[in-house]
Amino acid sequence: MTQFIHLSNVPGPATVLRKAFGTLFKKPGHRLPDIGYTLDLQGVDERQFAQFCALFGFDTDKVPLTYWHIRLFGVRALLASHADFPFPMPGMVHLSDEIIQHETIYPNDKLRVECMLGHMLSHEKGTAFETLTKLYRNGIVVWEETTVNLYLGKTLEQESAFEAVQVDIENLDKDAVWILPSNLGWQYAKISGDFNPIHLNKVGARLFGFKQQIMHGWYSVNRLLVPFNEEITGAARLETSFKKPLFLPAKIRSSIQTDADLVDFVIEDFQEKWPHVKGRLSIPRKTG
């Protein structure tokens, strides 16, 4: 049974950085601790929310379903820095994400947060693990997320293997080309609190086996979803899988295919054509 620890607020970037680097020399373990955190009556951080909307281009009176992943980054990081957590934090890679929104959430809503560790998953390049988050409004779940991260290194056999959402664009509806600057990792980090060195500069990236800094996949997902934000009202589901790293600076192409209630998307390197992100958005459209 999960042992929940109550927090009074979401840990800030300074706390996250201190705890993350405190795990740098941790030796890999074999199991996840059965722990979680709760917070009462959390809303948007007004300054962060304004910066979030400005960075991606959201103009809305509701909270985009992707915002809470950024808002609660510090809670997930606190779980990963727990003394009983089996892996070091620096260099971890975001593998996939699934968000299920049950009802529209507004900036003035006050929500109860639960965040806990899920399962460990086998992966060919290391060992993956789940973090599960739920938001409650008046005792009812209105938003939930399963985040999967990868520890690059020791491969530990698990009962279940990591599986990514399968998406292929067959009938292209829209595409766009983006030019991303070399400092975009810093811009995203200042809003999210995610100062993982693989995203910030070439030196930090090379420490973990990358030739230069790589883009946060969550930046790409947010930017692609902006045109659909007004349609994401009430129930919605977002599945994303992060593929090959995108090195900054970059030129990339986003491709979109729509079919009834589904929006499939692929974001790829413009020159090499390798996929960076694949995903699917389910937004039940009202008829009649």
Task: Quote the CA–CA distance of 231 and 225 in Å, as a whole number.
Answer: 10
**Strand locations in 61-110 (E):** 93-101
Q: Which DSSP symbol is given to 121?
A: E
Asked if pLDDT for residue 154 goes beyond 80, the answer is: no
**Tokens encoding 42:** 């959390």
How far is residue 212's CA from residue 203's CA, in Å, rounded to a whole number? 7
Taking CA atoms, 127 is separated from 5, 207, 270, 275, in Å, by 26, 19, 30, 22
Q: What is the DSSP letter of 284?
A: P
Higher pLDDT, 108 or 285: 108
pTM: 0.91
pLDDT of residue 285: 67
Give the residue with greater pLDDT, 136 vs 216.
136
Q: What is the CA radius of gyration of the chain?
A: 18
For residue 159, the model assigns a pLDDT of: 64
C-alpha 140/C-alpha 276 separation (Å) is: 35
Tell me what pLDDT residue 286 has.
56
Please compute the mean of the pLDDT values over residues 100-120 and round it to a whole number: 96
Residue showing tokens 């990236």: 205
Q: Which pair of tokens denotes residue 32?
A: 């996840």
What H or E segment, with its residue span, contains residue 134? strand 126-137
pLDDT tens digit sequence for 190-229: 888 888 788 888 888 888 788 888 888 899 999 999 999 9
Q: What is the 3-state secondary structure (H, E, C) of 211-261?
A: CCCECCHHHHHHHHHHHHHHHCCCCEEEEEEECCCCECCEEEEEEEEEECC
**How far is 195 from 236, CA to CA, in rounded Å?**
29
Average pLDDT on 126-149 reads 96
Give the tokens for residue 69: 């992943």
CA distance 198 to 92: 9
Asked if the model's pLDDT at residue 237 lies above 60, the reply is yes
The pLDDT, as a whole number, for residue 271 is 84
**Does 288 score more than 50 pLDDT?**
no
Residue 193 exposed, middle or buried by CB count within 10 Å (0-12, 13-18, 19+): buried
Q: What is the pLDDT of residues 10-57, one digit of tens each?
A: 988 788 778 777 887 788 777 899 999 999 988 999 999 999 999 999
Half-sphere exposure of 154 (CA within 13 A, CB side): 12
For the domain made up of 3-282, the CATH class stated in words is: alpha beta
Q: What average pLDDT is seen over the chain?
A: 89
Q: What is the DSSP code (8-state) at residue 198?
A: G
β-bridge mates for residue 262, sequence order: 259, 282
CB count in 10 Å sphere of residue 248: 22
